Structure 1
Amino acid sequence: MQKQKSFDSSGLGQLYLVPTPIGNLEDMSVRCIRMLKEATIIASEDTRNTQKLLNHFEISTPQISFHEHNYKERIPQFIARLEAGEIIAQVSDAGMPSISDPGHELVAACIQHNIKVVALPGPTAGITALIASGLLPQPFTFYGFLPRKKKEQMDTLEQLKQNKPTQIFYESPHRIGTTVKHFAEVFGEERHAVICRELTKLHEEYLRGTLAELSDYLSEHTLKGECCLLVEGFTGEVIEHEELNLSVREHIEHLINEGFSSKEAIKEVAKQRKLKKQDVYKEYHVD
């Protein structure tokens, strides 16, 4: 067991995890500005991007790059400086460090060396989008970016489709259309979802609807800006394997008895049995 008293004085330095705005510079807190000024160095994911922020707030603290390609080299250097009593402020390009951004490995190394780690509160895209989405805000799960390859993505979605909490994902504007299409195929077209783009910026936009509606919209419209995709949790009944021994008609009637509409039941049976909806519809309505 390890106990950290964050603000007791000691000979060692401290690592501060400093969130930065995800679009609107007015979201930078007074405390975050102060810590960036007081730090010995700033460990930045992209020093050129962070320099714009530092210039805006007249912060002259020197930067050192810290990203996924050099973290193994940088961490021993940072640990040595922290053990010498320096203060390091770590920032990502936007939002919270470690959330789909670099940072976790440095935090783990500091804990291993009994160096204090202090997280400052501030902007994070997933939670900000969640509370305005209209979907249930709790419980929720945060996934981040899904695998890019289709098979890996579809396999991941199969594992997630019956999770009951609202699910939060990040996606690029170039892949969002394909990703939503895959969600509709696996989760079902009627599952509700929300896309939020350009969060906190002038062109902030929420797209709310079923996965089918969102997929249709994205087939005709191109989005710009990083996207948050929030998907409604599973609200149906998990069908046990032995229930699949029922006939298609019996399976539909079972779901209707559980509260599904006939349309919803047909879609669910088609999805579970990997059949075409038209074939299931014909089977159900056969005389």
Structure 2
Amino acid sequence: MDFLQLAGKRILIFGVANRKSVAYQTGKVLEEAGAEVIYVVRSEARRESLSKLLKHAPIFVCDVEHQQEIDQLATDISQQYDVIHGLVHSIAFADYSAGWLPFHQTPRAAFLQAVDISCFSLTALSNAFSQLLDPEQGSVVTISISTTRMAAENYGYMAPVKAALDSSICFLAKSFSNFSKVRFNAVCPGLLKTSASAGIPGYVDSYLFAEKATLRKEAVQTREVADTVAFLLSPRSSGINSQGIVIDAGMGTNYFDKEIVSEQT
């Protein structure tokens, strides 16, 4: 039974890095549901390294820092496909090469680059594909974080960047509603085991704490995030628009878990 009604749907996925990526796991879930998945990576070297992993799926290259590459991608995709039913934006980047710094010392260039790649790219891609997205059932999903209000020191300036991404979802949904029914939503996971996370200073300790703080005492799995992305891409979620769906296994309601509190006494 095709419960998700994704069979035959064509989905564009940005951001695969390796097997641990949310984007990769999402692609696997979609393929299992019968969808046609098209991948977009940031460099030719990345395409070569992923060619075996992604098997026979089409892989395009686009560095979203460059508008001309976005425009060229949209042209190339439109020449090969008549419609795109969904777009997954799983792109984030922060330059921590300066080391850990207090937030007020955030380098201007690093912050603006992170906003450009991690946030504005969603708007740029949505605009580029606005005429190719299915106007009746099109769905765009981005990957955010479970909360942008928790000032985790080691996450640096990325939470404010993700907050801008969350806000962009609302404005894109409103903007597209003037000419289509394309929906925009975010999946907002708690801490995950991904290669991107590995670059965050002190992430392992935060991950282990988050696992203790979940109601089930088990960390959020990347596959669980991918399942939610697939649902938001499907017609089964047609009533959900301009939302952020938190996937944190109850962590946000369990900070005063007795086991965690007792460890401090």
Higher relative contact order (CA 8 A, sep 6+): 2
TM-score scaled to structure 1, two decimals?
A: 0.32
TM-score scaled to structure 2, two decimals?
A: 0.34
